[in-house]
């Protein structure tokens, strides 16, 4: 048996002995029982009181009641539990401090928001990126400090995407990507990544392509002009005719590539704008384009079946809408055999968007290539594309035109059976009749 219990039992034995001794000696058994038992109970109550006071004051080691027996054992147990608790607490504090130091050192601005969208925690990088300071801004709503409509939409879960690009409120030269991630009990982790360098490199690349295309265009125009003249000149030797015709064809192709590159860089520079465009009579415009196509690009080779919603007009940039139709129609002609038919449809889709679809019964595209079709210079079959006069930039131009108008391109295709390219515009672009 444990020493503390032995002490406690000896006390009880001493009380019983005192009762017997006093009872036998005096014959007053009631007094003999009550006196030692009362002393023992009184002493125990004093111990309990001291013990309760000690616990009430925080069970500090220094203030521990001076006790022995079972009370000493209980105090020892509490000591041990407290010690373990202190060790665990210090381990957790250590971990929390290391975690905070790591997150604080992250180069990305990181903010934790609670259910009410108030700032619970923020790292040092958030000051440089968003001007948010830990000491000053904890407990404030993030959208009160950074007043941008896209942020409000993102925080309230009304935005389609979980991230958006914005100018830093601290430094207008900085572009940030703000991302929101849900975690824990409806909390949000907001990160802001500085992408200024990437944007600068992109700008440099775009400017280089635009400048190079522009600079090459003038000499190429002169060269192709001379080649055209030579082609028509009857005095050049017959043996050279074919080479001149080939050179002229290649010069024409190069000019087309440069023109497409310039178109693309202008489209990229313009970017998305909700308000661009004028009211277009699309039914009339489409009919005219199909007639022109039948006369020029598809002289009797393809039949066109046209289905047009006559009342559907659109707010769009005319030259861009024209270029979009030209690219889709010429692809349908290029990649489907002579004698096949091409469908042109202009109507409101099931989702309520005005959509132009061009479908053919041509060679189709394998599923693994479909997602890459709008990349610059992507061609499923490079030599086939060259043979039919392709540049590999047409669908990239279509994608950019649609993006600038707030629309998107949808591609359905089956190898050997044909393709359908659907260009959809947002419903706010429909012109009310
Ligand atoms: P290209 O000038 O080569 O036609 P595009 O960007 O217009 O360039 O098209 C990219 C590639 O997509 C083409 O090279 C072709 O392989 C494929 N493609 C485009 N339209 C069709 C179509 N209607 N049918 C089959 N393949 C197509």
CB distance 22 to 38 below 8 Å: no
Q: Are residues 284 and 242 in the same domain?
A: no
Hey, which of 330, 334, 384 would you mutate to test ligand 1's pocket, going by the most ligand atoms within 8 Å of its Cβ?
334
Summarize the confidence of residues 174-187 as an average pLDDT. Answer: 91
Q: Are residues 175 and 309 in the same domain?
A: no
Ligand 1 centre and the CA of 197: distance in Å? 33
Hey, which of 323, 375, 385, 389 would you mutate to test ligand 1's pocket, going by the most ligand atoms within 8 Å of its Cβ?
385
Q: CATH number for the domain including 243?
A: 1.10.287.130
Using a pLDDT cut of 70, give the percent of the chain over it: 99
Q: Are residues 189 and 228 in the same domain?
A: no
Q: Which residues constitute the domain of residue 96?
A: 2-100
Q: Measure the CA–CA gap between 146 and 130, rounded to whole angstroms.
A: 7
Q: Measure the CA–CA gap between 194 and 106, rounded to whole angstroms.
A: 12
Q: Are residues 160 and 293 in the same domain?
A: no
Q: Are residues 47 and 168 in the same domain?
A: no
Single residue among 167, 194, 221 that ends a domain in this structure: 194
CB distance 220 to 233 below 8 Å: no
Q: What is the pTM of this model?
A: 0.69
Q: Measure the CA–CA gap between 51 and 64, rounded to whole angstroms.
A: 8
> 194: helix, coil or strand?
strand
pLDDT at 1: 54
Query: For ligand 1, is residue 263 a contact (CB within 6 Å)?
Result: no
Q: Are residues 83 and 124 in the same domain?
A: no
Query: For ligand 1, is residue 373 a contact (CB within 6 Å)?
Result: yes
pLDDT at 184: 85
How many folded domains does the chain comprise?
Answer: 4
Q: CATH number for the domain including 308?
A: 3.30.565.10
Q: Which residue has the higher pLDDT, 102 or 223?
A: 223
pLDDT band at 376 (very low <50, low <70, confident <90, very high): very high
Q: Are residues 343 and 417 in the same domain?
A: yes
Q: Are residues 422 and 293 in the same domain?
A: yes
Q: Are residues 288 and 385 in the same domain?
A: yes
Query: For ligand 1, is residue 365 a contact (CB within 6 Å)?
Result: yes
Q: Are residues 84 and 48 in the same domain?
A: yes
Q: What is the pLDDT of residues 33-86, one digit of tens each?
A: 999 999 999 998 998 888 888 888 887 777 777 777 888 888 888 888 988 999
pLDDT band at 104 (very low <50, low <70, confident <90, very high): confident
Q: Are residues 217 and 182 in the same domain?
A: no
Q: Which residue has the higher pLDDT, 7 or 350?
A: 350
Q: What is the CA radius of gyration of the chain?
A: 42
Single residue among 240, 270, 300 that ends a domain in this structure: 270
Q: What is the pLDDT of residues 292-340, one digit of tens each?
A: 988 888 788 899 999 999 999 999 999 999 999 999 999 999 999 999 9
Q: Are residues 246 and 346 in the same domain?
A: no
Closest CA to 401 of 332, 321, 312: 321
CB distance 324 to 355 below 8 Å: no
Q: What is the pLDDT of residues 198-218, one digit of tens each?
A: 999 988 998 999 999 999 999
pLDDT band at 90 (very low <50, low <70, confident <90, very high): very high
pLDDT at 291: 93
Single residue among 223, 252, 270 that ends a domain in this structure: 270
Q: What is the pLDDT of residues 122-159, one digit of tens each?
A: 998 999 999 999 889 999 999 999 998 889 888 887 76
């Amino acid at each position: 048996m444990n020493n503390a219990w032995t002490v406690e039992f000896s006390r009880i034995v001493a009380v019983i002995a005192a009762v017997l001794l006093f009872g036998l000696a005096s014959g007053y058994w009631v007094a003999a029982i009550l006196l030692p038992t009362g002393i023992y109970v009184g002493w125990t109550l004093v111990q309990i009181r001291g013990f309760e006071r000690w616990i009430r004051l925080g069970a500090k080691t220094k203030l521990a009641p001076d006790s022995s027996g079972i009370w000493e054992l209980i105090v020892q147990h509490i000591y041990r539990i407290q010690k373990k608790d202190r060790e665990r607490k210090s381990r957790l504090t250590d971990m929390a401090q290391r975690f905070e130091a790591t997150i604080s050192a992250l180069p990305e601005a990181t903010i934790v928001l609670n259910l009410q969208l108030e700032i619970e925690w923020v790292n040092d990088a958030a000051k440089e990126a968003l001007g948010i300071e830990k000491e000053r801004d904890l407990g404030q709503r993030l959208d009160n400090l950074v007043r941008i409509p896209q942020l409000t939409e993102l925080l309230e879960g009304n935005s389609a995407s979980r991230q958006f690009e914005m100018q830093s409120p601290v430094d207008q030269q900085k572009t940030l990507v703000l991302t929101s991630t849900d975690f824990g009990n409806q909390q949000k982790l907001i990160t802001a990544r500085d992408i200024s360098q990437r944007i600068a490199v992109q700008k440099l690349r775009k400017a280089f392509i635009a400048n190079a295309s522009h600079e090459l265009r003038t000499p190429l125009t002169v060269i192709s002009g001379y080649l055209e003249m030579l082609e028509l000149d009857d005095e050049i030797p017959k043996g050279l005719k074919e080479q001149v015709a080939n050179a002229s064809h290649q010069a024409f192709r190069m000019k087309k590539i440069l023109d497409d590159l310039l178109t693309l860089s202008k489209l990229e520079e313009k970017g998305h704008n909700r308000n661009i465009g004028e009211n277009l009579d699309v039914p009339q415009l489409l009919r005219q384009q199909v007639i022109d196509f039948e006369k020029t690009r598809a002289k009797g080779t393809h039949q066109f079946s046209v289905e047009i919603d006559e009342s559907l007009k659109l707010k769009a940039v005319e030259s861009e809408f024209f270029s979009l139709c030209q690219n889709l129609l010429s692809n349908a002609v290029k990649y489907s055999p002579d004698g096949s038919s091409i469908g042109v449809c202009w109507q409101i889709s099931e989702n309520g968007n005005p959509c132009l679809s061009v479908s053919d019964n041509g060679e189709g595209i394998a599923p693994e290539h479909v997602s890459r079709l709008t990349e610059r210079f992507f061609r499923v079959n490079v030599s086939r594309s060259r043979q039919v006069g392709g540049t590999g930039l047409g669908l990239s131009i279509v994608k950019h035109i649609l993006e600038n108008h707030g629309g998107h391109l949808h591609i359905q295709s089956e190898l050997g059976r044909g393709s359908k390219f659907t260009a959809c515009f947002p419903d706010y672009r429909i012109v009310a009749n």
